[in-house]
A and B are shown apart, each in its own frame.
Chain A
Amino acid sequence: QQQVKQSPQSLIVQKGGISIINCAYENTAFDYFPWYQQFPGKGPALLIAIRPDVSEKKEGRFTISFNKSAKQFSLHIMDSQPGDSATYFCAASQGGPVGGGSNYKLTFGKGTLLTVNP
Chain B
Amino acid sequence: GAVVSQHPSWVICKSGTSVKIECRSLDFQATTMFWYRQFPKQSLMLMATSNEGSKATYEQGVEKDKFLINHASLTLSTLTVTSAHPEDSSFYICSARDLWGPGDWPYQPQHFGDGTRLSIL
Contacts and interface: CB of A to CB of B under 8 A. Distances in A.
B-side binding surface: helix, strand, loop or mixed?
Answer: strand
Nearest to A39: B114
A34 B103 CA distance: 12
B109 A101 contact: no
Contacts of B110: 34, 46, 104, 106
Contacts of B113: 43
Contact of B115 (A32, A36, A43, A113): A43
Contact of B44 (A34, A95, A102, A108): A108
A102 B49 CA distance: 6
Contact of A110 (B34, B42, B97): B42
Contacts of B6: 43
Contact of B107 (A45, A51, A111): A51
B97 A104 contact: yes
Contacts, number: 73
Given A101-B51, A101-B57, A102-B49, A41 B111 contact: no
Contacts of B44: 44, 89, 106, 108
Contact of A41 (B31, B34, B117): B117
Contact of A100 (B49, B111, B117): B49
Interface string B78-118: 00000000000000010101010001101101111111010
Interface of A: 31-32, 34, 36, 41-46, 49, 51, 89, 95, 98-102, 104-111, 113
Given A43-B95, A43-B114, 11 more contacts: A42-B115, A43-B4, A46-B110, A51-B107, A95-B106, A100-B31, A100-B32, A104-B32, A108-B43, A108-B44, A109-B43
23 contacts: A32-B107, A34-B109, A34-B110, A41-B114, A41-B117, A43-B6, A43-B95, A43-B112, A45-B112, A46-B109, A95-B107, A98-B99, A99-B31, A100-B31, A100-B32, A100-B51, A100-B97, A104-B97, A105-B46, A106-B34, A108-B44, A109-B43, A111-B41
